[in-house]
Amino acid sequence: MNAPFDQSIAKAEKHLTRFRQGTVAHLIDGKPDFGDGRTFESLSPIDNSVLAKVAHGTAADIDRAAKVAKRAFASWGKTSGAARKKILHKVADAIEARADEIALVECMDTGQPIRYMSKAALRAAENFRFFADRAPNAQDGLSLIAPGQLNYTIRQPIGPVGVITPWNTPFMLSTWKIAPALAAGCTVVHKPAEWSPLTAALLSEIALEAGLPAGVLNTVHGFGEDAGRALTEHPDIKAIGFVGESATGSAIMAQGAPTLKRVHFELGGKNPVIIFEDADLDRALDAALFMIYSLNGERCTSSSRALIQASIYDEFCRRAAERVKKIKVGHPLDPATEIGPLIHTRHLEKVLSYVELARQEGAKVAVGGGRAGDAGNYVQPTLYTHATNDMRIAQEEIFGPVLTAIPFQDEAEALSIANDVRYGLTGYIWTRDVSRAHRFAQALEAGMIWVNSENVRHLPTPFGGVKASGIGRDGGDYSFDFYMETKNIAVAVEDHKIPKIGG
């Protein structure tokens, strides 16, 4: 008997009833829209049963949504920053009021453990508040004085934008893209991931009920190759904020080229955590394990490569293995669960496919390496040791609860291994040597680096990656730079000589 678990199941079932009983619709112009009536199934990672039937978006649905977003932009883009701020705070209030429901539905749809998801809905509300507070100043620019001339810049919302999101922590992640777009004055067509569509339906419903005008946030469900593609190709959509795989980013760039789409990409990672022998090893171990085994390892910023100095390698791996063996795999709503089922059978197969590969390449499967249980998409937390950086388990994003541990001799070798990968999203450095920490951080090829810390986010700081991990930055003013056009206005303050032509 586990009372909190039983209660969560009962509550989740109550919230899922509406999804189980009807079709999950697009939301276009503030109204549920079923497109041509075709649907696809959203499956439970727990047992692969059908959780919901979801409207299968087409290019025609995207076209309707984009035209609505264009029309809505005419007024939302001119709504004062103060008014936008008020409405977006109401959206945040409404998210908080339904945080429990959002968390439970998200866990059931994605397989993410409730211990992490219960905070994710609140983080989403925080995202709205953060950008709401900045809405009144989003248009502010610079004044640049020249002789006889005053230049000033203003920022104006770029227009209707498309937001395309992945399945790993969909609700929080969507708000991180959508909130700044709305705060900037853009209208949005959101295409959520087909493997986790349910909380996106909640978000557009909540925003509408909280007072966001109809047509300002539209949601079209469906697959990447049709609805996603159509969104990136639509001439009325001025920019695409995309979070997902690097290969999809390349495809979107090509699809958006004919309409000169502005793109912002948050893509994959194969992030190193570098642990020197002088580090606080207890804290480094806690952080390294947390950053790869929390959120099912389905986390772009995860520390999936542990680079450990050779002098402490065996001891560190031994201690890591002891801990990894004790990680609790279970139902996402069980408060004791640390790893839930992976999102989809296809993803489970991908994660497991690396086990044989790791053995063939000569790494040791120190812990895990198989399925956990007979049903559902459960996988054992896995630790690969004695790996080298040229192995595929060290180069490719596995996106599961899987850590690859690689030894290094000295700082120079650590840096060379850390940078020898196509990705560059995050890096984590553990050392007590202050100079080395700064030196290493400056040379590490990554967009975000934490020293003696796991990933602790501060919302005004820039978020994004280099190399195959992304283009552009989110957070604070960086998001507004993407969703807005900067305009320079030059005014003569003295009569200057104007060249005469034609007489």
223 touches ligand NAD by CB under 6 A: yes
Does the active-site annotation cover 186? no
78-86, 211-219, 227-235, 437-445 -> range binding ligand NAD (CB under 6 A)? 227-235
C-alpha of 440 from chain center: 26
Catalytic residue among 266, 298, 338, 445: 266
- The sheet that has 382-385: what strands, in order across it? 364-367, 382-385, 402-408, 305-309, 272-275, 426-430, 448-451
Binding test (CB under 6 A) with ligand NAD, winner from 204, 248, 337, 404: 248
Angle at 398 between CA 393 and CA 399, to 5 degrees: 150
Measured from the CB atom, is 87 or 178 closer to ligand NAD? 178
DSSP character string of 297-313: G--TT---EEEEEHHHH
User: Binder to ligand NAD among 8, 58, 139, 168 (CB under 6 A)?
Assistant: 168
Binding mask 400-439 for ligand NAD (x = CB under 6 A): -------------------------x--------------
Catalytic residue, candidates 300, 317, 396, 445: 300
Rg of the chain (C-alpha set): 24
- Binding status of residue 199 toward ligand NAD by CB under 6 A: no
Return the range that interacts with ligand NAD (CB under 6 A); candidates 7-15, 74-82, 217-225, 365-373: 217-225
* Both structure tokens of 185: 């004055």
Q: Which of 245, 361, 411, 477 binds ligand NAD (CB under 6 A)?
A: 245
Binders of ligand NAD in range 37-76 (CB under 6 A): none
**Stretch of 44-52, 61-69, 165-173, 437-445 lying at the interface with ligand NAD (CB under 6 A):** 165-173
Decide: 88 and 217 in contact? Cβ < 8 Å.
Answer: no
Residue 167 binds ligand NAD (CB under 6 A): yes
Query: Would the CA dihedral through 467, 241, 81, 126 be positive or negative?
Result: negative
Decide if 281 contacts 289 (C-beta within 8 A).
Answer: no
Instruction: Based on the shown chain and the rule CB under 6 A, indicate whether residue 253 belongs to the binding site for ligand NAD.
Output: no
Which amino acid type is present at position 60?
A
Q: Answer yes or no: are the C-beta atoms of 501 and 302 closer than 8 Å.
A: no
Question: Is 343 within 8 Å of 333 (Cβ atoms)?
Answer: no
Only one of the segments 5-13, 68-76, 208-216, 246-254 lies at the binding site for ligand NAD (rule: CB under 6 A); that segment is: 246-254
218 binds ligand NAD (CB under 6 A): no
Q: Cα-Cα-Cα-Cα dihedral of 458, 301, 334, 47, to 10°?
A: 140
Is residue 317 annotated as part of the catalytic site, yes or no?
A: no
Look up residue 390 and give its two tokens. 């040229």
Amino acid at 238: K
Structure token digits, residue 79: 């709504």
Residues in contact with ligand NAD, counted by CB under 6 A, come to a total of 32
What's the sign of the alpha-carbon dihedral 389, 453, 383, 119? negative
Which residue's entry shows tokens 């669960």?
337
What is the nearest approach in angstroms of ligand NAD to the Cβ of residue 301? 7
Q: 407 or 472: whose CB is closer to ligand NAD?
A: 472
Listed in sequence order, the DSSP H helices in 111-197 are 114-134, 170-184
Q: How far is the CB of 129 from ligand NAD (least distance, A)?
A: 20
Our CB check for ligand NAD shows the closer of 174 and 187 to be: 174
Q: Of 266-305, which residues contact ligand NAD (CB under 6 A)?
A: 266-269, 300
**Does 399 contact ligand NAD by CB under 6 A?**
yes
For the packed helices 170-184 and 476-483, what is the interaxial angle rounded to 10 degrees? 70
Sketch the per residue contact string, 358 through 397, with ligand NAD: x for CB under 6 A, - otherwise.
---------------------------------------x
Binding site for ligand NAD (CB under 6 A): 164-168, 173, 191, 193-194, 223-225, 228-229, 232, 243-245, 248, 251-252, 255, 266-269, 300, 397, 399, 425, 465, 470
Please list the active-site residues: 266, 300
